[in-house]
Amino acid sequence: MKADRLSFEESVSILNDLSFMVVPVDPGHADFKSLLRRIKSELERDESQTTQHNYELVEALSRLRIDAFCDLMRSLVLQKKLSRKSRDITAQLLYFAQLLTTHKQERDTEIVKQLVAELKFLSVSELGAEQVNYLMRGLSMVAEAGAFDGQMAKLTGDFLPILLEHYQSELYRCRIADVLTVVASCEQLRKVAVISEADHRSAHELFEVYLLNYLEKTKRQINGQEFAATVRHVGEAKFHAIHIYKGEVIDQLEKNFTTF
């Protein structure tokens, strides 16, 4: 009996459900491979949906990290058929940065360059905490892969101060994991001289503002891993003379130490 054709919405919903499964699926299982073929067929058939409503799709593919859709997505972005909305660019950059670090293919490098070039057109006011998280993770992966050239570095260096200024207004929406991502990504970008020391310091100053509020009001939500990362960043900032955190932050960290 022939399986019913999946709609675009059903396809994206299935991929999202799979990406959040606690028990990982077996990518080699016949039923799973058959399901992926059906989903891919739908995405190829209804290209207009895939190109214009791709944020949730790319999010799911980033979480799943499966190769079945790589060529389709590469083709769409190289033909400039994917949405160029600011939030969509952030998800696409993370996805293709993941492909670059995994497959190390030249075409993924070219796609990442194309997406980084979009930074000069990005409207930061349209980016929430989630999109900033995707963007910073993507840029950090590109830095780790050694894929930044001079033009990409300049675009990123020019863009980051604008992003950090905007992010300050988003701090109240953020989880500590989101702000830790920004700090860690800035650290990676500074290592390869993509951003200035001043911008690296600005990221720590944002983190300090967040910690002074976060530890005071919602300290019970910090897990052990986040606490350890926080202590590391505060200590390394002082050691490398990037930023010295206020005594109140250190006091709060010491008070919370006994809870872990």
* Model pLDDT, residue 205: 96
Question: Does residue 1 have a pLDDT over 50?
Answer: no
Closest of 76, 79, 85 to residue 122, by C-alpha: 85
What pLDDT shows up at residue 113? 96
Residue 224: its pLDDT value, please? 84
Residue 69 domain flag: no
- pLDDT for position 257: 62
* Domain range for 56: 1-64
Look up residue 227 and give its two tokens: 């606490």
Minimal CA–CA distance to 204: which of 194, 225, 222, 190?
190
Q: Taking 90 as the threshold, does the pLDDT of residue 188 lie above it?
A: yes
d(CA 139, CA 93): 8
Asked if residue 258 has pLDDT above 60, the reply is no
What does the pLDDT read at residue 183?
Answer: 97
pLDDT above 70: residue 22: no
Q: Is residue 77 part of a domain?
A: no
Do 8 and 119 sit in the same domain of this protein?
Answer: no
What number is the average pLDDT over the span 132-159? 96
Whole-number pLDDT of residue 68 = 87
What pLDDT shows up at residue 41? 87
The structure tokens 């059906």 sit at: 38
Tell me, yes or no, whether 96 and 55 share the same domain.
no
Q: What is the pLDDT of residue 155?
A: 97
Question: Are residues 58 and 99 both part of a single domain?
Answer: no
What pLDDT score was predicted for residue 94?
Answer: 97
The pTM score is 0.89
Residue 26 falls in which region: left (phi positive, over 0), alpha (psi -120 to 50) or beta: beta
Give the Cα separation of 54 and 8 in Å (integer). 10
